[in-house]
């Protein structure tokens, strides 16, 4: 299996940028498109949990503009040509805390889609590299 094949990596990075643009703009239509339209989709939020596309779409409809969101240490890794992960930290959280986001992306017949996501906010930890 080839890790980070350049063409596949570019595709997922572009999909991830669209997702982030949609999140910042509270563009529910774009976000709904980028989540897998399937009842097996799972999203664990910082203070909520959604099972299935309908539940995620309901969350997306309630989103607000978020121009303060800043990403830190975003890493996209592809595995072969049909699966990828995207991880990032974000800073629009209370002082002394850090937000974490992890997504699993899969190539579907409709293009790259988030098939599972996890978001959490924790006290600022020691970051080891």
Q: Which of 40, 119, 57 is nearest to 87 (CA)?
A: 119
Domain ranges of the chain: 6-123
Would you call 85 helix, strand, or coil by DSSP?
A: strand
Instruction: Tell me whether strands 83-90 and 97-108 are parallel, antiparallel or unpaired.
Output: antiparallel
Residue 128's pLDDT band, with cuts at 50, 70 and 90, is confident
Separation between Cα atoms, residue 33 and residue 17, nearest integer Å: 13
**What would the pLDDT profile of 10-55 be if each residue is shown by its tens digit?**
999 999 999 999 999 999 999 999 999 999 999 999 899 999 999 9
Name residues whose C-beta falls within 8 Å of residue 21's C-beta, 6 or more positions apart in sequence.
27, 30
pLDDT at 127 over 90: no
Span 6-123 CATH architecture: Roll (3.10)
């Amino acid at each position: 299996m080839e890790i980070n094949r350049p063409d596949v990596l570019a595709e997922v990075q572009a999909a991830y940028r669209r997702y982030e643009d949609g999140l910042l703009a509270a563009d529910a239509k774009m976000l709904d498109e980028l989540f897998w339209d399937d009842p097996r989709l799972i999203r664990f939020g910082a203070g909520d949990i959604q099972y299935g596309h309908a539940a995620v779409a309901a969350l997306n409809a309630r989103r607000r503009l978020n121009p303060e969101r800043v990403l830190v240490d975003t890493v996209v890794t592809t595995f072969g040509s049909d699966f990828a992960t995207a991880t990032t930290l974000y800073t629009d959280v209370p002082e002394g805390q850090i937000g974490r986001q992890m997504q699993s992306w899969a190539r579907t017949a409709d293009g790259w889609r988030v098939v599972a996501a996890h978001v959490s906010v924790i006290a600022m930890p020691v970051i080891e590299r």
